[in-house]
Structure 1
Amino acid sequence: MSWQRQVDDLNAKRDLALKQGGDEAVARQHARGHLTIRERIAALVDQGSFAEHGRGAGGAERDEAGNLTDFTPGNYVTGLAKIDDRLVAVGGEDFTVRGGSPNAAGLRKSVYVEQLALQFQVPLVRIHEGGGGSVTGSTGKGPVGSPVYEKPRFQSVAQCMTQVPVATAGLGPVAGLPASRLVASHFSVMAENAQVMIGGPALVERALGKPITKEELGGPKVHAKSGVVDAVAKDEAAALGLIRRFLSYMPRNVWELPPVAACSDPVDRCDDRLLSLVPTERRHAFDMRKLIAMVVDEGSFFEFARAYGSALITGYARLNGRPVALFANDGRYLAGAMTAEAAQKVRRLIEIAETFHLPIVTFVDEPGFMIGPGAEAAGAIRYGTSAVLAAAMCENPWATVVVRKNYGVAGAAHYGANAYVLGWPSAEMGALPLEGGVAVAFRRQIAAADDPVAERARLEADMAAKLSPNARAESFAMHELIDPRETRPYLCRWVEWSEGPQRQLLGPKSFGIRP
């Protein structure tokens, strides 16, 4: 006697699991221009590194003799793998079985993937395509709902957000619970042929009487601007590549420092183009992204959410191989003024950097909070103050480079609790932007002048001289006033100094980061 029959049964289930929803369902998936979940995982992780958990979980049918006659695999695939030789937990819905709407085994495996990441304290990658629950799932006999002693489903989702980097991808229609899990992440991306929505077109038409397409509801043009996702990729391979790149800046968990990469870019590199990048004419804008590229390690800047809150640029970069979180004003969009959306983007970046111990660098060209009826209706002052307080409470190593404008309450969002402050000769700092401040403070004097236009110009020129950074540098109100070309050497030295303080901050934060 041996256990060969049982082993044959086991292997049959494993083979059927690899077939997913069957040849026809896989062919339909490919015809729609999508990979299957197993193909996606293979494209994401290091070759041959995926160790699946629960491949034999699913619904088995047997004859009277106990022989396996059919097997429907759990429609969530999960396990451990490596990305750039670092361990990660990975999982995703199998759209070829029930369109990704969870069957019994699939639901359990989808809950388990967060536990897997927490148990091994490794980054979590979720790849989404599918809907949430089905009304047919609650029509059967037997117990209904979860027992009262069971922990809330989203508790482990929240715990992952506070302990390990979480990256997600939407690679097809993503609705209901998977859409919520997509945004419960530190970085999310959707492919151009994906849609993310709370409820699909049929549900919307039934509830609101409005016919609508999936693209109109939650296509990439919608969510690039809504802030629901951090990036839109041209295809699935590009989306998975962005996840790999995001994780390269992150530690494995909150008890470790971010990984240092080899760097061939000289730390003492001084780019002469920086000397003339900022126009001497105050009203002329400049390209902040060019500035960033000239200062950080070559090719290391990784921007996210470019189309959302566009007045502020946010992303990650490296200085001498060390990862940093970075944000800066884009003076070519609304003069760089902090809108409600931009403030939310900045607050989130600060909280991610705090959670994973990345030093923060900010390049300042801040005219203040956005003003006007639209800004008031959007709640700019509330969200802006939230960003300011996030900065004020942040204990991370923080470097502030005042490139040009630094005005108003919004300017405070660029200074952490222990900011190392550098200024360029082009810097101007004050309570209000020069033109508006003069118009308000000297309104009567300007109105009474023989030539109001000339008087206002004279006052503006006088005030501009007083806003020069020289007085602040001479008063030790900043650490150094520097030649713009020296910015990279100064920041590379600072980020090296910062390793000791970073180590002091290891471990989870008292607050839990939320999407």
Structure 2
Amino acid sequence: MTVIDASTAAPPVLEPPPRPDLATRTAELRDRHRRAADGTDPSATERQHARGKLTARERLDLLFDKDSFCEVEPLRVHRATGFGLEHKRPYTDGVVTGWGTVEGRTVFAYAHDFRIFGGALGEAHAEKIHKVMDLAEAAGAPLVALCDGAGARIQEGVTALAGYGGIFRRNVRMSGVVPQISVMLGPCAGGAAYSPALTDFVFMVRGISQMFITGPDVVRAVTGEEISQDGLGGADVHGGTTGVAAFVHDDEESCLLEVRHLLSLLPANNRELPPREWTNDPANRRTESLADLVPADPARSYDIRDVIAEIVDDGDWTEIHAQWAQNVVCALARLDGHTVGIVANQPAHLAGVLDINASEKAARFVRTCDAFSIPLVTLLDVPGFLPGADQEHGGIIRHGAKLLYAYCDATVPRVQLILRKAYGGAYIVMDSRSIGADLSFAWPTNEIAVMGAEGAANVVFRREIAAADDPEATRQRLIEEYREQLMHPYYAAERGLVDDVIDPAETRAVLIRSLSMLRSKQTSLPSRKHGNSPT
């Protein structure tokens, strides 16, 4: 029998455990991605569809060009924190983030997945959003938020609240740098509502979108008022009453299609110009129908939207805040293929006067256009500011000053066109030459004055009218004299406050030529940290 000395024996050779080949690893990864895409509960998709809502990925498919979406952190899960979360750690953590293309241009997006934790925001969820926001800022590309979440994740406490803070800070830092669009496709309550309010445009869908700081239950407990979620913060409330929503749609499909169209009108960032879209609509096309659309009588009403459609390329334009403050119309359109912003008084609503809401609406739009290098065309037919104690007590001075500030601060090309009347302070505020419009034109029907001839005559000739044998006849004579001497169509042009009085049929051609000349406009503001606008 041979005895082996263990101290000198060679160690046994151990075979390494078999390692999965690349195909096995790839199959495992595909399975993880499939589970991330499908969610953790197959019935959750059915419940989402039963609510009349699409899933996060179905929405992304509608937003982006086919097969262009690249997901970021699809396998992210939250850190187990107790309170039941340690047993439920689904992939994506309830938000899908990434980038893709919209009509060939890069766009970043995040979409809450209501099927997972009700889309509630936790630490990992927030960090994914922070990352995609930082990528959008670094790449200089628009950011679209598809919002469908239940607010902060209660189980994660203050870390969830801090996550919202990080989003708000980035919203502000990116403001005016890249376009930010919020699409409300479900509930948005409490502090979560502030992120959409900080973005450039908010879309809502009737029946499924709600935004409010305190919900119906809290309202009932505090005030005793009974109100539904839609009645408190539904799409029509924010589209027509509060002005929070710029666009309101009946379904998700048309909503996301409009988001794609809006993106096509905007630049990728504040260092670029909006993309030009070639058109077959001639730049020198005469607009003969404008003389019939706009009555010469300043007291007669008409729809300014018909005027806009006649002027812009192919009659195609997009109205912003169509249901809110309808006495002023704000629109994005194209002239000779170039994006322009149009601000216009609407005689068909409140005679086109400026009031608190109209001033705020127009001011916000002017600042948005200026931030993204979109030239401004202002169409005037304004009788003044709306009188009344409610307007004065509501701060019409402060709100009107917002519009004045926005125009004075704007450095983009600015062209003013006076269609008919332009009276008082409203004339000045609506981008007059005196506050920096590059060019001002007027139709032969224009009347520019401190006030209408009737009111002016009653003030200026009050004593003469009172002492006349026939006060009414004297009044009418003096009204005509005032109109002929101080309100005739060429009065402002003779004093250099209007660059030319033009034929309405040449409106499109004049605007296009003017904007073409101004496209290389260079201007700057005094060095300062920032202005102090009358917010």
Question: TM-score when scaled to structure 1?
Answer: 0.91
Q: Which residue of the partner structure matches residue 424 of structure 1?
A: 443
> In 2, are the aligned partners of 1:161 and 1:513 still within 8 Å (CA)?
no
Q: 1:231 corresponds to which residue?
A: 247
User: Which of 482, 501, 506 lines up with 1:481 in the alignment?
Assistant: 501
2:400 to 384, 387, 390: 384
Which residue of the partner structure matches residue 36 of structure 2?
17
Q: Between the two proteins, what is the percent identity of the paired residues?
A: 32
Once the two structures are TM-superposed, the CA of residue 186 in structure 1 deviates from its matched residue by 1.4
Match of 1:203 among 218, 237, 240: 218
Q: Specify the SS of the correspondent of 1:74.
A: helix
2:129 is aligned with 1:110: yes
Determine helix, strand or coil for the equivalent of 1:478. Answer: coil
Q: Contact (CA 8 Å) 1:80, 1:87: kept in 2 or not? A: yes
The one-character-per-residue Cα deviations of 1:279-323 (angstroms, maximum 9, x if unpaired) are 232211222111111111113311111221211110111110010
Q: Which moved more, 1:36-45 or 1:431-440?
A: 431-440
Q: Does 1:472 align with 2:492?
A: yes
Greater Rg by CA:
2
Change in Cα spacing, 1:206 to 1:494, as seen in structure 2 (3 Å) is: same
Is contact 1:314–1:327 with CA below 8 Å preserved after alignment?
Answer: yes
Residue range with higher mean Cα deviation, 29-38 or 217-226: 217-226
- For residues 47-446 of structure 1, what are the structure 2 equivalents within 5 Å? 47-59=66-78, 71-138=90-157, 152-193=166-207, 194-225=209-240, 226-415=242-431, 417-446=436-465
CA distance in 2, matches of 1:445, 1:122: 66
- Report if the CA contact (8 A) 1:187-1:246 is conserved: no
Give the structure, 1 or 2, with the largest relative contact order (CA under 8 Å, sep 6 or more). Answer: 1
Deviation at 1:110, TM superposition (A): 2.3
**Letter aligned with residue 303 of structure 2:** D
Task: Tell me the alpha carbon deviations over residues 78-133 of structure 1, each in whole angstroms, 9 at most, x when there is no partner.
Answer: 10110010001011211111221123322221222321211211001111112221
Residue 110 of structure 1 aligns to a residue whose secondary structure is helix
SS in 1 for 2:183: strand
Deviation string 1:300-350 (CA, Å, 9 cap, x unpaired) is 311111221211110111110010111010112111111111111111111
Higher mean alpha-carbon deviation, 250-259 vs 427-436, is at 427-436
Question: What is the distance in 2 between the residues matched to 1:295 and 1:477?
Answer: 23
Q: Distance in 2 between matches of 1:314 and 1:449?
A: 47
Query: Cα deviations across residues 232-263 of structure 1 (Å, max 9, x unaligned)?
Result: 11111111122111111111001111111111
> CA offset at residue 45 of structure 1?
0.7
Distance 2:165 2:63 in 1: 31
Distance 1:228 1:308 in 2: 9
Contact 1:425 1:483 in 2 (8 A): yes
Q: C-alpha separation between the residues in 2 aligned to 1:370 and 1:478?
A: 25
User: What is aligned with 1:64?
Assistant: none
Unaligned 5+ runs, structure 1 = 62-67
2-side partners of 1:245 and 1:268: how far apart? 26
Give how far 1:189 is off.
1.1
Alpha carbons of 1:268 and 1:146: their partners in 2 closer, same or farther (altered >3 Å)? closer
Q: Which amino acid aligns with 2:137?
A: L
Is residue 347–residue 381 contact of structure 2 (8 Å, CA) maintained in 1?
yes
User: What is the distance in 2 between the residues matched to 1:192 and 1:228?
Assistant: 14
Instruction: Return closer, same or farther for 1:146/1:473 CA change in 2, 3 Å cut-off.
Output: closer
* In structure 1, distance between residues paired with 2:161 and 2:416: 52
Aligned residues of 1:339 and 1:375 also touching (Cα < 8 A): yes
Q: Does 1:2 align with 2:26?
A: no
Shift of 1:482: 0.5
1:379-437 deviation line (CA, Å, top 9, x unaligned): 11211122112212222111100111111112122225242111100100011233333
Is 2:152–2:161's contact at 8 Å kept on the other side of the alignment? no
Amino acid at match of 2:144: V
Q: 8 Å contact 1:58–1:104 — kept in the other structure? A: no
Q: CA deviation at 1:185?
A: 1.6
Question: Distance between the aligned counterparts of 2:292 and 2:473, measured in 1?
Answer: 29
SS at match of 2:520: helix
Tell me how far 1:368 sits from its aligned partner: 1.5
Q: SS of the residue aligned with 1:410?
A: helix
The whole-number CA distance in structure 2 between the counterparts of 1:38 and 1:146 is 26
1:69/1:371 Cα in 2 relative to 1: closer, same or farther (>3 Å)? closer
Gaps of 5+ in 2: 1-17, 81-86
Render the CA deviation track for 1:458-494: whole Å, top value 9, x for unaligned: 2222222230121222333321111010111111111
Q: Equivalent residue of 1:342, what SS? A: helix
Counterpart-to-counterpart distance in 1, 2:25 and 2:77: 17
Conserved? CA contact 1:16–1:73, under 8 Å: no
Q: Residue in 2 aligned with 1:38?
A: 57
Q: Is the 8 A contact 2:444 2:501 kept in 1?
A: yes
Equivalent of 2:521 in 480, 487, 501: 501
Aligned in 2, Cα 1:250/1:70: closer, same or farther, shift over 3 Å?
A: closer
Q: Return the alpha-carbon distance in structure 1 between the equivalents of residues 441 and 233 of structure 2.
A: 42
- How many residues were matched structurally? 502
When structure 1 is superposed on structure 2, of 274-283 and 217-226 the one drifting more is 274-283
In structure 1, what is the equivalent of residue 84 of structure 2?
none
Deviation at 1:269, TM superposition (A): 0.7
3-state SS in 1 of match to 2:278: coil
Deviations 1:341-361 (A, max 9, x none): 111111111111111111100
Write the letter of the residue equivalent to 1:99: G
- One-letter identity of the residue aligned with 2:19: S
Query: When the two structures are superposed, what TM-score results if normalisation uses the length of structure 2?
Result: 0.87
Q: Secondary structure at the match of 1:178?
A: helix
Are 2:180 and 2:199, in contact at CA under 8 Å, matched by a contact in 1?
yes
Report the residue type matching 1:185 in the other structure: T
Structure 1 Cα separation of the partners of residues 166 and 204 of structure 2: 27
Cα distance change on mapping 1:41 and 1:288 into 2, 3 Å: same
Report the CA distance between 1:505 and its aligned residue: 7.2
